Amino acid sequence: MPIGLTTVRQDAVLTAVHAVRFAVERLESAALEPREAVLDPKLVVRGTSGPPREG
């Protein structure tokens, strides 16, 4: 019996793009401060969201 678990999806490819770009920039210029990127997550609503079933 599959469980439809509600999750938050994050773009793995875009996360990797940012990580590699930031790492290369730091290698090229050690004086750069650490950075962060804020990516928009996506809520994937499945069966575990909502009121409990009666019964």
Q: Which two tokens stand for residue 10?
A: 């994050």
Is 49 in contact with 6 (CB distance < 8 Å)?
yes
pLDDT at 47: 79
Q: Which residues contact 51 (CB under 8 A, 6 or more apart)?
A: none
In a domain, 18, yes or no: yes
For 20, the domain range is 7-44
CA distance 11 to 38: 11
- 0.85 exceeded by the pTM? no
In a domain, 30, yes or no: yes
Q: Tokens 């930031």 — which residue?
A: 22
- In percent, the amount of the chain with pLDDT more than 70 equals 89
Mean pLDDT in residue range 27-41: 93
Domain count, the chain: 1
